[in-house]
């Protein structure tokens, strides 16, 4: 097949090469780097389970799957010198005992484990593999309110029970905002409570049916036809109307039961914690609105709460699950160490925790930081902006998820925090942040994940985010889940890969390399959140491109040589 080759222009290459320096360098054309895909036909036919589990690493030109061409990337650097790169994982915690992660953990070389002392004088006692800014005992969950709920609680002391004519003119705008947010919180809490009740009932009926059929048939994988024979059985009948859809959607009833259990957890969290103004999940004893209160709060338990808190472990595996060890799956990057900063609860993260976590991983040597979280309100956003700038000053690249609300986050009303572009239409406040949207394995109008946020100015690139197979906590397990939270660590892995083999490149250069080396897709895609409304993929991010590790290394090689 003949492919059109898009050669990066001398002008763009020279700009990238000169980032962070007054030196202007001419860079040769890179005929090896192919980004155009006009002649690519999307893969047809059913993919195997194993192929789907590894699709993010595939190559668009040989597999017709829009993966990141990882095999070609490693073939390109197989004879090159590698340096170890530390990747900070600011998330919900990581299972540091997992078989695919335990050998890639960062261990603080200046700290003596278990002696109860701050040996390295960094303000954190016994921080061996990172720090837990959420506090709590080992294995304890971290339920928390959403930021909108916390704001309603704070504002209620000033406005609750008052009418508009009792409000001073200077406060009327804030009062109206309070009423609006309070109505939203109340509506969401009531709706979640109803969904919680429904899913609890559905889970009970499906589990009873599954337990009965497993025992009756002597196996866990049974067909719908086999199930129909027991439709009138008291253990099966309550679930009968749901069984065809559940088994069709999830493959087996057992998997369907687990999925519905997740629904129970999701809506329970929303009803009981996230939208509950009277709940306070903070256990660290500090004031989250006071930057200087109780420095060193939290503890060194970075493990997370187990199976119900899988997010951080899944993210860590995408970046760095030990490669080619014959078990589980391969992470994107080799020669990396994972540093854990547990700062994301089951709810909205506190700005203080986020800012402290970024500074922690930067101070302890991380050169790439993954931030798969976000929220709609950020009362102390200035703390986070300062932390971002602090990371930039120390040449650290921050990778963040765009969010899963299928919104155009260029619109002010859909602003997704943390952000490097707080003002609509303005320049980025710092040049070391990459914001990532999520995509599927389908190289057609279904390319963009239907949940992904997007934005021509606030989203930088798209990466694999649907059906992503990675590590999950407890008993060395693995699971496929989806989200821009999964797309972000794919980019973080590629960034770490580039910095591993080209350590002379700056964070700003690596950002530009990743954005300029992605493959193109000049076609219409289904707009997230709609059934059939179309939008040009070129309009969904700054560069209109898809992450590609091989191209990133090719361009990094050229820029690195030119920068020396």
Q: Are residues 195 and 303 in the same domain?
A: no
Q: Are residues 270 and 309 in the same domain?
A: no
Q: Are residues 252 and 175 in the same domain?
A: yes
Picking from 300, 294, 264, the residue whose alpha carbon sits closest to that of residue 282 is: 294
Q: Is 282 in a helix, a strand, or coil?
A: coil
Note if the bond before 418 is cis, omega within 30 degrees. yes
Q: Are residues 157 and 105 in the same domain?
A: no
Q: Are the C-beta atoms of residues 402 and 524 closer than 8 Å to each other?
A: no
pTM: 0.91
Write the DSSP assignment of 220-270 as a string of letters: S---HHHHHTTTTSTTTGGGTTTHHHHHHHHSSHHHHHHHHHHHHHHHHHI
**Residue 546 buriedness (CB in 10 A; 0-12 / 13-18 / 19+):** buried
Q: Are residues 528 and 398 in the same domain?
A: yes
Residue 564 lies in a domain: no
Q: Are residues 270 and 303 in the same domain?
A: no
Q: Are the C-beta atoms of residues 43 and 443 closer than 8 Å to each other?
A: yes
H-helix or E-strand spanning residue 19: none
143 DSSP 8-state letter: B
Q: Are residues 332 and 479 in the same domain?
A: yes
pLDDT given at position 425 = 74
Rounded distance, CA 533 to CA 530, Å? 6
| Model confidence pLDDT, tens digit, residues 327-381 | 999 999 999 999 999 999 999 999 999 999 999 999 999 999 999 999 999 999 9
Residue 31 lies in a domain: no
Residue 312 lies in a domain: yes
Q: At 27, is the pLDDT very low, low, confident or very high (cuts 50, 70, 90)?
A: very low
pLDDT given at position 33 = 87
Residue 16 lies in a domain: no
Residue 307 lies in a domain: yes
Q: Are residues 481 and 356 in the same domain?
A: yes
Q: Number of structural domains, the chain? A: 2
Domain with 243 in it = 147-274
Boundary residue ending a domain (274, 308, 335): 274
Picking from 265, 398, 291, 394, the residue whose alpha carbon sits closest to that of residue 341 is: 398
Residue 152 lies in a domain: yes
Residue 122 phi/psi, 5-degree rounding, is -100, 5
pLDDT given at position 491 = 98
Q: Are residues 134 and 195 in the same domain?
A: no
Write the DSSP assignment of 64-107 as a string of letters: SS----HHHHHHHHTTS----EEEEEEES---TT-TTTGGGB--
pLDDT given at position 563 = 79
What mean pLDDT do residues 233-246 have?
Answer: 94
Rounded distance, CA 217 to CA 370, Å? 46
Residue 176 lies in a domain: yes
Q: Are residues 358 and 470 in the same domain?
A: yes
Q: Are residues 440 and 538 in the same domain?
A: yes
pLDDT given at position 16 = 37
CATH number at residue 367: 3.40.50.200
Q: Are residues 234 and 311 in the same domain?
A: no
Residue 560 lies in a domain: no
């Amino acid at each position: 097949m003949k492919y059109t080759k898009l050669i990066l222009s001398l002008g763009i290459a020279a700009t990238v090469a000169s980032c962070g320096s007054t030196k202007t360098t001419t860079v040769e054309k890179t005929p090896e780097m192919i980004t155009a895909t006009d002649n690519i036909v999307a893969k047809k036919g059913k993919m195997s389970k194993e192929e789907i589990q590894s699709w993010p690493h595939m190559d668009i030109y040989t597999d017709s799957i829009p993966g990141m061409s990882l095999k070609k990337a490693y073939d390109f650097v197989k004879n090159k010198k590698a340096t170890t790169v530390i990747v900070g994982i600011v998330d919900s915690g990581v299972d540091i005992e997992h078989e695919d992660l335990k050998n890639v953990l960062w261990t603080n070389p200046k700290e003596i484990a278990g002696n109860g002392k701050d040996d390295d004088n960094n303000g954190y006692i016994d921080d061996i593999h990172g720090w837990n800014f959420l506090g709590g005992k080992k294995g304890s969950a971290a339920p928390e309110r959403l930021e909108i709920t916390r704001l309603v609680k704070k504002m209620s002391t000033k406005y609750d029970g008052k009418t508009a004519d009792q409000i001073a003119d200077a406060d009327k705008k804030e009062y109206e905002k309070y009423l609006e947010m309070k109505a939203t919180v109340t509506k969401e809490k009531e709706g979640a409570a109803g969904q919680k009740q429904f899913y609890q009932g559905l889970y009970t009926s499906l589990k009873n049916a599954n337990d009965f059929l497993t025992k009756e048939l002597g196996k866990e994988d049974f067909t719908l036809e086999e199930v129909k024979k027991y439709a009138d059985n008291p253990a099966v009948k309550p679930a009968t109307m749901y069984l065809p859809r559940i088994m069709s959607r999830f493959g087996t009833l057992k998997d369907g039961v687990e999925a519905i259990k997740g629904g129970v957890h999701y809506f329970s969290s929303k009803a009981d914690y996230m939208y509950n103004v009277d709940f306070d999940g903070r256990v660290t004893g500090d004031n989250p609105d006071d930057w200087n209160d109780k420095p060193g709060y939290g503890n060194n338990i970075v493990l997370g709460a187990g199976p119900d808190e899988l997010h951080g472990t899944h993210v860590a595996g995408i970046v760095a699950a030990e490669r080619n060890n014959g078990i589980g799956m391969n992470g994107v990057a080799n020669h990396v160490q994972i540093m854990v900063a547990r700062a994301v609860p089951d709810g909205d993260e506190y700005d203080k925790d986020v800012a402290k976590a970024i500074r922690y991983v930067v101070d302890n040597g991380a050169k790439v930081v993954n931030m798969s979280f976000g929220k709609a309100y950020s009362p102390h956003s200035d703390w986070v902006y300062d932390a971002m700038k602090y990371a930039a000053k120390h040449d650290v690249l921050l990778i963040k998820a765009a969010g899963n609300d299928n919104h155009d986050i260029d619109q002010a009303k859909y602003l997704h925090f943390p952000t490097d572009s707080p003002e609509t239409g303005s320049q980025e406040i710092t040049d070391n942040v990459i914001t990532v949207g999520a995509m599927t394995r389908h190289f057609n109008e279904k390319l963009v994940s239907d949940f992904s946020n997007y934005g021509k100015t606030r989203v930088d690139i798209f990466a694999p985010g649907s059906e992503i197979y990675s590590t999950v906590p407890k008993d060395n397990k693995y699971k496929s889940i989806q989200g821009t939270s999964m797309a972000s660590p794919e980019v973080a892995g590629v960034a770490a890969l580039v910095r591993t083999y080209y350590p002379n490149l700056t964070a700003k250069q690596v950002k530009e390399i990743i954005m300029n080396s992605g493959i193109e897709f000049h076609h219409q895609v289904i707009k997230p959140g709609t059934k059939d409304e179309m939008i040009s993929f070129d309009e969904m991010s700054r560069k209109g491109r898809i992450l590609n590790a091989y191209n990133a290394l090719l361009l990094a090689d050229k820029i690195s040589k030119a920068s020396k």
